Amino acid sequence: MIADMKFFLDTANVKEIAQAHEMGVLDGVTTNPTLLSKEGRDPVQVLKEICAIVDGPVNAEVISTDCEGMLREARRWAELDEKIVVKIPMTREGMKAVRKLSEEDIPTNVTLVFSPTQALIAAKAGADYVSPFVGRLDDRSEDGMDLVSKIIQIFDNYGFETEVIVASIRHPMHVVEAALMGADIATMPYAVFEKLFEHPLTDLGLQQFLADWGKLKR
Ligand code: G3P
């Protein structure tokens, strides 16, 4: 059994990361070029700020498409902070880079994973993490969580230590299903993270408790 299910925030927004960190249950952060671009600031500065807040892994992605370029970028990202995990896309060039980076002890997360064979290849190449994108599969009427279940079974069959990051999460049920399957990590937008805390019966119950306490003659 895995000791803990880790919650990552899938954002490059420092304010959201600081708020989630305060809750005491944030284990890491994933970013990608789209998320960093949304912030409209120097990505290196943003990543530095994120690393200063978060205790766990902070994922930064390469944008090169050739192995040499990816290696150059990965080494630069890794120099930024020891928390950095380098996201590498699931391509042939990407897998060559993952193999080299694993020999250099630079942690990698293989991203844009949409099939069990892609996850298996990433694990064989030496990836520390794989990121199946469940929401993007669901958007195409394919079953994202079924992919996660298959990847977990394959990794268990062979004792791969590669951790499964359930990515492209759209709602809390993705998190629940990921936990039921024993996925290592769920990375989610801040809006989904917030929803994990909420239930209307909690609010109503608390309201009632406080109202009843107020009626007590003290
Ligand atoms: O960061 C990778 C992944 O979580 C992206 O999600 O919402 O763009 O499909 P999304």
Q: Is residue 178 part of a domain?
A: yes
CA of 171 relative to ligand 1 center, distance in Å? 12
Q: Is residue 203 part of a domain?
A: yes
DSSP state of 106: -
Residue with more model confidence, 81 or 218:
81
Residue 3 — pLDDT band, cuts 50, 70, 90? confident
When pLDDT is averaged across residues 7-34 and rounded to a whole number, the result is 98
Q: Is residue 11 part of a domain?
A: yes
pLDDT of residue 214: 95
What's the domain range around 99? Answer: 6-214
Q: Is residue 177 part of a domain?
A: yes
Q: How many domains does the chain have?
A: 1
Q: Is residue 145 part of a domain?
A: yes
Q: Is residue 1 part of a domain?
A: no
CA of 23 relative to ligand 1 center, distance in Å? 23
Residue 218 — pLDDT band, cuts 50, 70, 90? confident
Question: Three-state SS string across 125-177, please?
Answer: HCCCEEEEEHHHHHCCCCCHHHHHHHHHHHHHHHCCCCEEEEECCCCHHHHHH
Atom of ligand 1 nearest to the CA of 139: 9
Q: Is residue 147 part of a domain?
A: yes
pLDDT beyond 80 at 70 = yes
CATH code for the domain of 88: 3.20.20.70
Quick one: what percent of the chain has pLDDT higher than 90?
Answer: 98
pLDDT per position as a tens digit, 24-51: 999 999 999 999 999 999 999 999 999 9
pLDDT per position as a tens digit, 93-108: 999 999 999 999 999 9
What's the rounded Cα separation, in Å, for the pair 7 and 195?
A: 13
pLDDT beyond 70 at 123 = yes
Residue 216 — pLDDT band, cuts 50, 70, 90? very high
Residue 149 — pLDDT band, cuts 50, 70, 90? very high
List the catalytic residues. 87
Q: Is residue 10 part of a domain?
A: yes
What's the rounded Cα separation, in Å, for the pair 23 and 171?
A: 19
pLDDT of residue 217: 86
Taking residue 167's Cβ as centre, other Cβ atoms within 10 Å add up to 30
When pLDDT is averaged across residues 177-183 and rounded to a whole number, the result is 98
What's the rounded Cα separation, in Å, for the pair 53 and 14?
A: 8
- Hey, which of 13, 133, 188 would you mutate to test ligand 1's pocket, going by the most ligand atoms within 8 Å of its Cβ? 133
Quick one: what percent of the chain has pLDDT higher than 70?
Answer: 99
Residues with CB under 6 A from ligand 1: 10, 30, 32, 133, 135-136, 167-168, 187
pLDDT beyond 70 at 2 = no
Tokens of 55: 């205790």
pLDDT beyond 90 at 1 = no
